[in-house]
Each structure stands twice: as C-alpha cells, then as structure tokens.
A and B are shown apart, each in its own frame.
Chain A
Amino acid sequence: MRRHVLTAGLLLAALPLLAATTPETLNDRTRLGQRFTSLRHLAAVAVCVPSWSDNEGGLTLTLWDTPERGKNLASRVVTGVRDNEYVELRPAEPLPPGSYYWEISDRTGTTRIGLYCNELEAESADCAWFDGQPAAKRRFLFQLVAASLPRQQLTALLAALAGTDAELKEAACRQLAVFGSAEAVPALAALLADAKFAHLARYALEGLADPAVDVAFREALHKLTGRLLVGLLNSVAVRRDGGAVGRLAELLKVADPEVAGAAAVALGRIGTPAAAASLEAALPGPESVRGELYEGALECASQLLAAGRSGPATALFDRLRLPPAPRVVQRAATRGAVLARGPAGLALLQQLLRSGDSEQLWAAMWVVQQEWPQPGITLAVAAELRGLPAATQVAVIEALGHRRDRAAVPALQQCASAGELPVRLAAVRALAKLGPAAAPVLLPLLADATPELRQAALASLAALPAEPLAAAARELLAHPEAARRRDGLALVQRRSLPAMGDLLAAALRDPAVEVRQDAAKVLTELGGAAQVLALREALLTAAGGPPAAGLESALAAVAGRAGAAETVAAQLADGLPLLAPVVQASLLRVLGTVGGQRALQAVVAASGGPAGEVRTAAREVLCDWRTTAAAPTLLPLARDAAAGADALKALRALLRLAGDADLPADQRWALCQEVRPLVQREAEQKLLLAALGTFATRAALDLVLPYLEPAATREEACSALLAVADKLAGGAEAAQLVAPLTQVVQRSGNAETVKRAQALLARVTPQ
C-alpha cells in the first residue's frame, strides 16, 4: 500500500470527516460496506481500494438498496486491482436520489486488499459497515458520480413543471429538452410567459421536432411582448417555421425595435419567398431596425440559395450589393451574388477583379480562395492578371497560390520571369504552393540577377513536396556552377532530406572550398554512419586547411551518433600514426567523442609519444574521458613529477571521474584511494572532498573528517560530510553520525550548513 493521496471528486453525501485515514483489509473479514445518501441522480460509485500489491488481488463490488441487502442494484467482479485504484460500479440506469449501500466481498488473490476508513465527527446513519455491523462514526473513502442526464418518468417531470419548486422545475425542463414529447408541450408552453422560466421552456421546446411546438409558438407570438417575445422569435427562427411568416411580417412594424429586429432576422432564417417578400417590402426601414432588416435579408437570400432558388436569391443579393445596404452587407451580398449565378458568376468575378473597388476585390479574393475550387476558375482568374494594376496583381497571384492548382503555373511563370519586383516575388512565393510542376520554373530563377528573387526562389523550392525537392536538389548538386551546388546543399539542409548521403559525400570532394564547407555543415546535422569514412577522408585531404575545423565538427557529430562505437573507432584509428600530426590531433579528438575500448587504445598510444601536437591532443582527450577506463593511463601521468602541467590535469581528471556518480561506485572508491596521496594542494583537496561526498559509506566519511580541521577546507569538508551523512541517516549506522555531525555544527561558519547539520542530528539522535 502506497501512501494514499485524495483525489478531487464530487462527494454528494459529504459528511464532516476527521483527519485520520486508516486502511481496513478485507482479508480479516467477509465484507466491508458503506451506506450513503445521494442528493442527485447517481451514475456510479467509485471506491478507493488499496491492494498492497499491484494487479494481483480481486474482489466483488455490489450496490444494494440498503445495508440489509434487500435488492441487488448492480454488481461487478474486479481482478488485478492496482494499488489505490478507484474501482467503479455503474448501474444500468442512473439511480434516483436517495440512500443506498455498497459493499466489497469475495476477495481473490493472495495480497491484502481493502478500503480506507475515516473517522466521522459525529454518528451517522451513512456510515461504514463491517461484516454486517454498522460503525456509526466511521466512513470508507469513496466517490459518487452524479448522472449527467437522468431520465425520469414523464409524469414526474410534468408534475415538477406544475409545482412550485424552482430547482425541480428547471431540472424537469432540462430533461424534457432531451426526452420530452408532444405530451409535454402544453405544460411547457404555459411557461413561455413566465419571466423566470420562459427560457427554460424554450430550452425544452426548441429542439422538439413536433408540429405542436410550432402551433404553441405561433399562439404565443400573439400574446408575448418585450424580451420574452424576442426570445420566442429567436426560437421560431431556429425552427424556421414558415407558418409564422404572416405574424412575423406584422411584427416588423411594431414600435419595439428589439421585437421588430428579431422578427426581421427570424424571417431571414425562415428564408421562404414569402419571407423574402416581407423583408424586401420593409427595406430599408427605420434607422432603429435597419441593421436587422438587412441582416435578415442577406440571411434570406442565403437560405433561398441553399434551397436551390437561385433566381430569387440572385435578385435579392444584387439588391443588397448596392447602397443603402451597409457596407458589410454589400460585401457579403457580392460574394453571394457571384455564387448564386453559378458558372455565370465567373463574369461577375472578373468584373470584381477589374473594379478597383476595395470591397468588391475583397469579396472576389474570398470566392477565389475559399469557394470555387474548379480548375476553370484558376485559368479565368489568371487570364485577368495582365490587365490589373501591379498591386492588385500581387493579391491575385497570392490567391492563385492558395488555390494550389497547378493550372496557374504558366501564368505565374510569366509573372515571375519579368516585371515589377513585388509582382515577381509574389509569383515565386505562390509557385511554392503548386507542387512538382513549379520546380522547373523555380530552378532557373536561382541564377536571377536580383538577390532577393534568388532567395525567394530557394525558399520556394525548399517548400516543395519531398520528391520534387529531392530531384531539384540532385540537379543542383550536379550543376557546373559552385553557387548552384551550394543552393543544392541549402535545400538538403533546410528540409533535412533523407537518402542524400552519397551526394553529400561527393560534395566533400568538391573543387570549391565553399561547397566542401557547406557539405560539412549539412553532414553535421544529417550525416550517419555511412558518411564516417568520407568525412575522415575529407579531413585527411584538408590537412588542416580551411574546411578542417568544420570537418572535424561534422565527423565528431556523425561518429558520435553513428552507434557501433568499436567499428567506427577502428575506422577512425586505422593508420593513425602515419598521418600528419594536425590530422592525428583532429581524429584523436573525434575518438574522444566516440569512446569505447578501441578509441581508448589509440588515444593511450598517442599520449605516450614524443612531445608535440599529437601528444597534447591525446592527453587532453584522456583528461576528458568519460569512464574510469582512462585511469590506468592517467594515474602514472598524475604521479609523474616531470610531466608538470599535464600531471596536474591528469590528477584533476581522476578526481572528476571519482566524483562522477554515474560511474560504478567501487571503481570510483578505488580511484579515491589511489589519488588521495597525490592530493596536496587546496584546490585538489576540495575536488577530493566533493568526490567523497558522493559516497554513502562510513569509510568515505572517515576520509572527510581530517579536512574539517584546516580552515581552508573546512566548509567543503562540512558539505561533504553532510552529503554522506544524509545518505546514511536512514541506515543502521545512523547513531554513529552524531559525533561527526556535532563537529559540523560546532565548526561550520555557514548558517545554512549548520541548520542542515542540526536537522540531520535531530533525525539520527536516539530518542
């Protein structure tokens, strides 16, 4: 059993609890249960079960009407219970509010399994039961899940509507919104005039597909006023009741602008020819409802179009395209007017493009990009390009790009090849969206005289799908001009193109140094094991020349992630002593990145050579080695007084390894023993103390103690001692920590250290 953390939950039968939570096992009993009261419809009970051992134990959870177990409401056998799992039981239907009883029984498996129990502040009938006996002041830990949508009998819901309990009435409306039928309409309609429940009545009625609702709503249209009438009109609009058009037309003329406006919008939603006629007759109408009248008319035109009445829809849209319709409506109607005309709308669309009017161009751009995907539209719009002002051309070119129709390629090619720069740039950017067909157009543009255009062409090529992009990259990498070959490398890098390894390896041998440098950069990111030898070869060829640094970085990155370290190291170290010193030094550093036995052999061999660039590099790599395998070479070096600075570096490397908690503790401890006699200076003493602090042994602590005395190492010794003691405090040797910790308290000048020592002392001091 892990320590249990209470999860948030809805405790419908919340009772005042005392803090204590104790586990009660079913192993000691036959059954454990809980009576509870749910204030709302109940979907499920969820019981928290500690099982001490994950996925082993099982039980039966049963829901009863009472603790006397008269009626079984639901039951579930559960096996493999996770520790502290909430085991859930859902009856087939939500249960009405009331008191119930759940119980666990019939334990299976061998682990302990049970429940958590809390103490209650006072006795309660809703209490825990142990083998059929109540414990009036105890309660098991569980949750109740309220039903999100209970389903009560229609008679009960209608009774609630007729009653005075507001909460029940609201709940009834919410249920009737889903489960209600024509039978409920009269009772709900009676609430439409009730300011408090009118909305809930509509909530229940609006979605009921029964003509009785329309009849009730039409009747209410003659009775209600003000906000309640507005709400009703909105519901009539949603139901699109054509039978209400006559009354709505009358309501267009009432003085209350909210009502008249709602009637206008409702007529629009209904969208019949009769509704359209009412609205057209009312336009433009008084200022107070003009907005709603035009909104309704636009909606009406849209509904007519959706119903296939394109003639009347076109006529209405055309009227709304003109003043005095609000500009927003004009623009929307323009869009509608194009669509309502069907194929004939293309002529209007072209007219809009040529209009020079912002609202009309706005609408045209929308239709071109969002409504008409047919290829014919692309060609028709592209044909307009030549006659448009440059600024409009840019907008139309972008729109053609967004259509992603390759039919636009010839037109965009023409725009990209000559003309005003913004137009050319727009065409180049748009081509990026047109797929493979754009590649042959974009490739020549990489040689354009305008740098901005060349960059745009490269970016557009990089945005092409993988296949045409790879083809373009291959073509560029084989190009006679170095600049194009560099473009090819840039494409490979931008999109991390796979399967280009051979071409990249070839680029490492390119006659142009810039290409070789770029290739090294790309391989740094993308290269794998297959490119190790090519990079090594390039490094040899460079022999310290300009690309060498980049090649070494690339080789280190590639070799480091290539896997198969021994194989890679063997490739790198092959014939190493025969190479130029500068190359040997590079390869030794790369071997340090690779690691492993073969790499170490090569590095060790080079570290013993004559003084010079190679030996220096080898010793630096050794000092950075990541495992204790380097220690046998580093130790003699550290002990060699003649080695000077190298000896000190070796000692520090050994101390670093000794303190690296990721390495095996026994090897590190052996290292500590070996290097301790070499540690003379204050700086290295502090490194040793840091290393000792990583151990969890009394012996490490004993090595730390002498360093408490000198002031120069005292604080580091205190820290190391605390680090060791903290790991030992829970063990058998805890009592032996009292004396050393007391020393820390007495000697440290650091308040935080003293505080930590005191806290540890409190833990380890026998009570």
Chain B
Amino acid sequence: MKDATNPAAVTRRQLLCGATAAGVGALLGPVRARAQVAANARLNVAVIGLGAMGRGHLGWALGDPALQVVAVCDVDRLRAEESLRRAETAYADRAGSSGYRGPQAINDYREILADPAVDAVVIATPDHWHALQAIDAAKAGKDVYCEKPISLTIAEGRRVREVMRQYGCIFQTGTQYRSIATLRKVVEFVRGGGLGQVQHAFTLWSRVEGGYTPVSYPLPAEPVPAGLDWDLWVGPAPWRPYNSRFHRNPLPGVVPWAFCDDFGAASVTWHHSHAADVTQYALGVEETSPVEIHHPVDGKFPTLTMRFANGVLLHLVDDWGVVKSVYQAVPADARLEGNFGGVFVGERGWLSALYGKGRCEGQPEGLFAEMGMPRHEVGWGNDHHRNWLDCLASRARPQTDAELGHRAAAIGHLAHIAFKLHRSLRYDPVKESFVDDSEANRLCSRALREPWRM
C-alpha cells in the first residue's frame, strides 16, 4: 500500500523519539511539529466507511496539512472509488500535479490494518461495525477516531474500553458537540455548580416507526448492487439479505440503516449519543451510568427517566414541549430549540445547552454574565479533530475517549432495554450489569456472526 513517492514515509513513532529528523520539532511528532517539519512528517490516516459521515471526515483529513490520507475504504466499490478520485484531485491540487497518486481504494478494512504505514484510522461505518473495527485497529497498533455510537451493546462498549487501554490506543469518540466552545462553557458551568444542585435534566429521544426502539423485522431480499460486498457489509451482525433501506447509492441521507436493531440504534445513532455525552459531562456523571431506569409504566414519571446515584434525574422527552407542558420545569415562553445537548434545571435556575437553532437559553439572565457569556449564540466551531491529533502526539487522554464514548452510548442502550422489556430496571454502574434481572442482562450483549470476534 505504501507509495514510494508518498511524503509520509516518516512515521510519527520514529518522530516521537527523534529517530530520524533532528531537533525537538521532530521528536514531538508530526502533529505538534507540523509548523516546523511540514509535509515530510504527516500522519498517515485511512478513512473506513464512506457514507455521509465518512465523506465529511475525508474532507477534513484532505484539508489538514498535518494528515496524509493513504487509504479510503468501503465495502461498496463505487463509494471507495468516488472517494479515491476526490482524494487524488485534492492532492493533485495541493501538489500542483495531476499525476499524483497517493491513497488507495480498499474494500476490506483488514487490509488497511495490516499496513504498518497507517498510523490511525477514522471509522465511519454503520454502527454494528464500530466496536469491532476499533478493537481490530487497536490490536493492529492504530489509533482511532470512531463515529458514535461506539457500540450497539453495553458489552461491546466495555470491550472497546478494555482493549483501548490494553493496547494504549488513542481513541476519540465522534461526539463533537461537547467540543463546541459555547456549549462547553455552559456545561462546564453546570458541572461546576453554577446552577447549584441540578435536580432535573432533559434530553430528546425520538421515535422510530412509532416505537422507541429500533425495529427488527425481515425486509424482502433485493438484488445486491454491483460493486457492493454485502456479506462484508453485514459482517458481525445477524445475517439479513440485502435491502435498499440499509444501503444504496446515491446516498439516501445520513445513517439510513439506523432504524434496524441489528445495524443501528435509532435515537442513539441519530442524536442521543451526542446529547448523552454533553449531558453526562454537565452532570459530572460521564464516567458512570444511572442506577435506576424508570419506564413510564411504573407511574413515577411521565416519560422514561434515569436516576443517577447522586439523585439527578435525566428525563427523555419526545419533544421540548413536554418539558414545559408536562414537567413544567421551564417557563412556557422558553424556546427550547435545537438538539445534541440538554436542558438543566437546578437550584439557581435553568440553562439549555443545545445546538442547531441558535442560542443557549436560561434564567435568571445573570447566569450568562457569571459564565462570561455576553452573547448566547452557539456557533459550530469546535476542536474535536484537533484534540484527537494533539493526543496522538502526546498520548494524552482525548476529550471523549473510549470510556466516555462507551458511557454515552450505554445510557442509550439502557433506555432501549427498558423500552424493549417494557418495565423499569435497576442498574449497577460499577459492575455494569442490571440488578437481579437476567433478561435485561442478556440484552447487554450479542453473539457475533462467525468468524468475527472482539
């Protein structure tokens, strides 16, 4: 896979100890030293999965002078070749030559992992691949940026965390909303006690086909499109024949498979992993999980509600109107627009940390002065990718490492399990298992289709 003309021949590991180039800049690794050593010390990355999210990451990677995209990978040959052309064009433009050929189009991610020239991978495949590919990458010595949710089950997330530690892999979860400067300011304020004791938090949970969990019913078999390796697409999940609802070209939108329980996690995939990451961080519970999950059938709360050991309640709501009309937790004239975060109600007032519709809200207004936030607008600017790159060089803990990515996904899985079993549950966040509930515990893991293993 390695191209002799590729300027990325110097690996970051060599650079870390100054084994090749001289001087401090070389030792610091390509990321920290990019200003000094520029093009001859890029980090070699591969993008695995070239749907909507993967293309976004590819665009970022192609545009970052610290990175060299050495491979693009998708089980759909059309997608891989399309991304290959895009990468070649980008590098040709950069090099001023149309003859530049750097990356390769790969069908099977295992070929990428076998290449010692690849330093790190960006995983943007369907959800059922995330944990497995991240684990395989770590075992191959690659660092990982992984789209959310990082798991489809609690066991998968635990295994990801375990293997990332075991192999010393720098793992960043793609929950970038916490890295938006404005949102971070709000959630750190809440986390630091700015609202006093937080009593309630709210976040959105969407329906899929009328219910609250991804669906699991057979779809009719359709002819597999040319160039698509469907067996590899299904990979570790239970076998299903090809159906265009799962995958088709041109792209039908972001994460089309997410409605299906075997391949995705519906709300968790769409937005809740992001929201959970932001919310749990604000509540200071990002390295734990709830101790109780109350299904509405137990009559304690009108919507599914989690209770953490510190007493904070996290309510899942269909729409923000419920926070006003049913819980009456914020004034009726609150706008509560946006997603990917939460609404926090504490002793001193309330605040929203949401993205997508403009601005943070809260009362009393003086809270914003305390935060040093004269303007409430929420922009997109975030340093999530940059944080990962910095950590690749320093080996420091990224903003949303495997532990946090796991916990953000896990809280969604807990909700799914309560919805599936249609009852309330008790959970031990240390053992990460349900208390005296074998049925719920059996929903914490799934056997992988042969020959796949984690």
Contacts and interface: CB of A to CB of B under 8 A. Distances in A.
Contact of A230 (B214, B218, B450): B450
B166 A234 contact: no
Nearest to B397: A370
B135 to A, nearest CB: 11
B213 to A, nearest CB: 4
Contact of B453 (A46, A174, A198, A262): A262
Contact of A148 (B14, B216, B397): B216
Binding site of B, secondary structure by majority: helix, strand, loop or mixed? Answer: loop
B210 A143 contact: yes
A539 to B, nearest CB: 22
The 4 A-B pairs of least Cβ separation, nearest first, read A231-B450, A391-B27, A496-B372, A145-B210
11 contacts: A149-B213, A149-B421, A206-B447, A231-B447, A358-B16, A362-B395, A363-B168, A391-B23, A395-B394, A495-B372, A498-B372
Interface stretch (A325-333, A478-486, A695-703, A750-758): A325-333
A661 interface: no
B445 interface: yes
Interface in A310-338: 327-328, 331-332, 335-336
A199 B262 CA distance: 13
A299 B168 contact: no
A395 B168 contact: no
B325 to A, nearest CB: 9
Interface in B406-423: 419-422
Between B13, B446, B450, the greatest number of chain A beta carbons within 10 A of the residue's beta carbon is seen for B450
B7 interface: no
B63 interface: no
A424 to B, nearest CB: 11
B374 interface: yes
Interface in A26-85: 40, 43-44, 46
Contact of A231 (B396, B421, B451): B451
Given A10-B215, A207-B445, A389-B18, 16 more contacts: A146-B217, A149-B213, A149-B420, A149-B421, A203-B446, A227-B451, A231-B448, A234-B452, A295-B139, A328-B141, A328-B167, A358-B16, A370-B396, A391-B23, A399-B395, A423-B24
A162 interface: no
Interface string B176-202: 000000000000000000000000000
Interface string B210-246: 1111111110000000000000000000110000000
Contacts of A399: 394-396
A394 interface: yes
Nearest to A204: B447
B168 A331 contact: yes
B24 A177 contact: no
B17 A361 contact: yes
Between B16, B17, B372, the greatest number of chain A beta carbons within 10 A of the residue's beta carbon is seen for B17
Interface stretch (B277-285, B342-350, B376-384, B435-443): B435-443
B449 interface: yes
B443 A178 contact: yes
Interface string B17-49: 111000111111000000000000000000000
Contacts of A9: 209-210
- Size category of the binding interface on chain A: 35 or more
A258 B396 contact: no
A369 interface: yes
B441 A207 contact: yes
A416 interface: no
B94 interface: no
Nearest to B444: A207
Contacts of A237: 453
Contact of B445 (A46, A238, A298): A238
B13 A262 contact: no
A199 B234 CA distance: 13
A199 B395 contact: no
Interface string A90-112: 00011000000000000000000
B357 interface: no
Contacts of A371: 165
A153 B443 CA distance: 19
B252 to A, nearest CB: 14
Contacts of A94: 422
A200 interface: yes
Contacts of B422: 43, 93-94
A399 B442 CA distance: 40
Contacts of B18: 389, 391
Contacts of A336: 166
A662 interface: no
A525 B374 contact: yes
Contact of B397 (A149, A206, A238, A369): A369
B233 to A, nearest CB: 16
A497 interface: yes
Nearest to A466: B372
A43 B211 contact: yes
B333 interface: no
A394 B395 contact: no
A265 interface: yes
Interface of A: 8-10, 40, 43-44, 46, 93-94, 143-146, 148-149, 167, 170, 174, 177-179, 198-200, 202-203, 205-209, 227-228, 230-232, 234-235, 237-238, 258, 262, 265, 295, 298-299, 302, 327-328, 331-332, 335-336, 356-359, 361-363, 365-366, 369-371, 389-392, 394-395, 398-399, 402, 420, 422-423, 466, 495-498, 525-526
Contacts of B25: 422
Interface residues of B, number: 61
Contacts of B268: none
Contact of B447 (A145, A149, A202, A420): A202
Interface string B363-385: 00000011011100000000000
A365 B16 CA distance: 11
B278 to A, nearest CB: 21
Given A362-B168, A365-B395, A391-B26, A198 B450 contact: yes
Contact of A209 (B166, B370, B438, B449): B438
Contacts of A143: 210
Nearest to A180: B442
Nearest to A367: B168
Contacts of B166: 298-299, 302, 332, 335-336
Contacts of A370: 165, 168, 395-397
Given A10-B215, A328-B141, A394 B421 contact: no
B261 interface: yes
B17 A357 contact: yes
Contacts of B420: 148-149, 178
Given A370-B397, A496-B374, A332 B167 contact: yes
B386 to A, nearest CB: 15
Nearest to B139: A295
Contacts of B217: 40, 146
A559 B441 CA distance: 61
Contacts of B450: 198-199, 227-228, 230-232, 234
Between B167, B216, B238, the greatest number of chain A beta carbons within 10 A of the residue's beta carbon is seen for B167
B419 A203 contact: no
B443 to A, nearest CB: 6
Given A199-B238, A234-B448, A332-B166, A391 B442 contact: no
B10 interface: no
Nearest to B438: A209
Contacts of A369: 394-397
B140 interface: yes
A363 B168 CA distance: 7
B140 to A, nearest CB: 7
Contact of A366 (B395, B419, B421): B395
Contacts of B448: 231, 234
A279 to B, nearest CB: 16
Contacts of A10: 209-210, 215
A628 to B, nearest CB: 29
B306 to A, nearest CB: 19
